[in-house]
A and B are shown apart, each in its own frame.
Chain A
């Protein structure tokens, strides 16, 4: 069972697409597998004959379990087939027994090591090094000797540029943080600390390598480009806000902002377009996605993720839209929504929602949103609060549009009104920040000509 989505722990074999005895080529689709999110294709990673189908259609199996055997026609596969039998019977427990004895062994080994050190304090083995020297021993070497726990590294220092056993240059956590903030390549810096450790002063003196940005984790589908986002280091105030609020409402300290928009002009716009032909028909939802994306592009502080040690503000706008499916919901993403025309958004939204309902979305199609929208207006919900999809910092909940009596210039008039509620992660978005975003969104919605500005 292959891990077909990043969060997949178990999959259900929906359907075999090959029979025993079939010739298999690299890339052939062997079976359909239902993950936690979608139905995916299980693809052959080699060639041979499908000798044995071990899993039955409808069976669930943990990632890593044996589903079948592809081998040369005359290869002996009996050992493989036999070994898989108990695995299938107790799918959930197969991983556990492997881990436990090893852990216990490790604990025992550590205990022995400790015992060895304490029971012979007078003559510590030379090879143990200073890090494991008992405190008594350290004191005996003289009161001026103060252990840093890092002697073994420092003692071996011979010069600059020394690397750790892993091959990367030694560096202090602060130096690493500063290097990533400044775009300094650690490999190009000579460390002046013990053992060649790169420390703060080395980074301060290092030239900034403009063209060597740190490789970013890939958001799906479109390869990231330089400058897709900035990580804003947390100020002490930001840290305190985050810490305190999480104690109060955790793990995501959410607050809610509700606004009622006048939809008169949006409705006019839509009517005018429909008049010109069915091919120009877009939904209110499409217009809301477009308006939200455009507003997000102007408010990177809302178009952001909370990544624990920083706030990641995106320069591209990927809007997730919650789609109800039979067993739950999924949020396909309209990438670069701010740069797409209404017709593109409309077509893409319809297509994604359709495939979401059929559970035919690929992981890269429902991951990587920078902000999300949830619309329950079609169910006649006046207003509601949506739950943030971490690490995103906000989600917009859209209620039903309805005609209401409104006082305008002292006159009672009837207007189409829409209530939206934004859920905000307070660690990232403050009240006024969210309010300003909604202000921009209101300007877009109430004057949709702003969308072409």
Chain B
């Protein structure tokens, strides 16, 4: 085990998989000469050369399509979007080409490719560049969607995504790149797609979350523990396919649940989680499930308003207290 940043964990995953399999290559804006806009690809150009680490023009739709073509002829492209907010133009390639190619060609063209980059809000990037796209991609059959919240999961899930024969969306976090955590340096280790992890064990309530909100939920759990309320923090890690068994097992134990996500409420990933809970755990529920999410507005630029709009630890604590019927 080594302590490293989320950024370096992703870097290590890329380096190991580039070494392991010659058909893997990385492509995107500034990934080569500039070592990546967020330095995730630092040193890779020197080590693997310009045929494996490819700089592109500012043409998201174009290079996403090149990636789809490369996957069709047997390569394993990793397409980096500088952020998922810029990837909106490339959605047609992701949704209509990558997600459907294997299906519509009756399996003749597998799509072993990865689209990755930071998702959601950072700080004061305003309405157009602070959006969480989780539910957009999780909605699409043919895609897998992972959203690691820790360095270890970032490394393990990116490696699993590169090795997967389906298109995998990797939702990272700009605010996560500098966070640190223990990472296993064993190059053979992956985190399986579709498996949630209980990041903290309690018995009073289940907080279901993923991605950036894992840290928020863990902080909330710390605060709640001081008040004698011990909660399960279940990190989904993969949004699609979702680990329903893990959710059901935890809720069967705690009888209460709060779902925390970064994005908006309407048709959010949390709505799907609540649906699974009401269906699978109806007779286990002792209280209605509560969701924590971003305010239903375009992200404000003003610092104070942005803070109010984002889901945070205080809101998560309040939500847990509400489902616990603890007055405040």
Is chain B found bound to chain A in the same assembly? yes
Which residues of B in the span 245-260 have a Cβ within 8 Å of any Cβ on A? 245, 248-249, 252, 255
- Residues in chain B near residue A309, CB distance under 8 A: 283
In the complex, the answer to whether A199 meets B296 with C-beta atoms within 8 Å is no
Partner of A199, one of B245, B265, B287, B291: B287
CA distance A135 to B283 in the complex (A): 28
User: Within the complex, what minimum Cβ distance (angstroms) separates B280 from chain A?
Assistant: 9
- Residues in chain A near residue B285, CB distance under 8 A: 172-174
User: Within the complex, what minimum Cβ distance (angstroms) separates A243 from chain B?
Assistant: 9
Q: Which of B96-104, B135-143, B148-156, B312-320 contacts A (4 or more CB under 8 A)?
A: B312-320
Residue B288 at the chain A interface, CB threshold 8 Å? yes
A contact residues vs B (CB 8 Å cutoff): 135-136, 138-139, 143-144, 146-150, 172-177, 193-194, 199-200, 236, 239-240, 309
In the complex, the answer to whether A194 meets B283 with C-beta atoms within 8 Å is no
- Residues in chain B near residue A139, CB distance under 8 A: 295-297
- Residues in chain B near residue A236, CB distance under 8 A: 248-249, 252
Which residues of B in the span 223-252 have a Cβ within 8 Å of any Cβ on A? 245, 248-249, 252
Q: How many A-B residue pairs have CB under 8 A?
A: 62
Residue B308 at the chain A interface, CB threshold 8 Å? yes
Not counting A148-B288, A193-B325, a sample of 14 additional A-B residue pairs whose C-beta atoms are within 8 angstroms of each other reads: A135-B266, A135-B296, A139-B295, A143-B308, A146-B292, A148-B323, A150-B288, A172-B285, A174-B285, A174-B286, A177-B283, A193-B287, A199-B287, A199-B325
In the complex, the answer to whether A173 meets B245 with C-beta atoms within 8 Å is no
Residue with the greatest number of chain B CB neighbours at <10 A, chosen from A146, A148, A177? A146
- Residues in chain B near residue A174, CB distance under 8 A: 255, 283-286
Measured as residues with beta carbon below 8 angstroms from the partner, the interface class of chain B is: 20 to 34
B contact residues vs A (CB 8 Å cutoff): 245, 248-249, 252, 255, 265-266, 282-288, 290-292, 295-297, 308-309, 314-315, 318-319, 322-323, 325
User: Within the complex, what minimum Cβ distance (angstroms) separates A129 from chain B?
Assistant: 15
User: Within the complex, what minimum Cβ distance (angstroms) separates A190 from chain B?
Assistant: 15
In the complex, the answer to whether B290 meets A143 with C-beta atoms within 8 Å is no
CA distance A193 to B315 in the complex (A): 21
- Residues in chain B near residue A147, CB distance under 8 A: 290
User: Within the complex, what minimum Cβ distance (angstroms) separates B101 from chain A?
Assistant: 26
CA distance A144 to B283 in the complex (A): 29
Partner of A146, one of B248, B283, B286, B318: B318
- Residues in chain A near residue B255, CB distance under 8 A: 174, 200
CA distance A146 to B252 in the complex (A): 23
In the complex, the answer to whether B314 meets A200 with C-beta atoms within 8 Å is no
- Residues in chain A near residue B248, CB distance under 8 A: 236, 239
In the complex, the answer to whether B282 meets A173 with C-beta atoms within 8 Å is yes
- Residues in chain A near residue B314, CB distance under 8 A: 144
17 inter-chain pairs at a CB distance below 8 angstroms, sorted by A residue, are A136-B296, A139-B295, A143-B309, A144-B314, A144-B315, A146-B318, A146-B322, A148-B290, A148-B322, A172-B286, A173-B283, A173-B284, A174-B285, A174-B286, A236-B248, A236-B249, A236-B252
- Residues in chain A near residue B283, CB distance under 8 A: 173-174, 176-177, 309
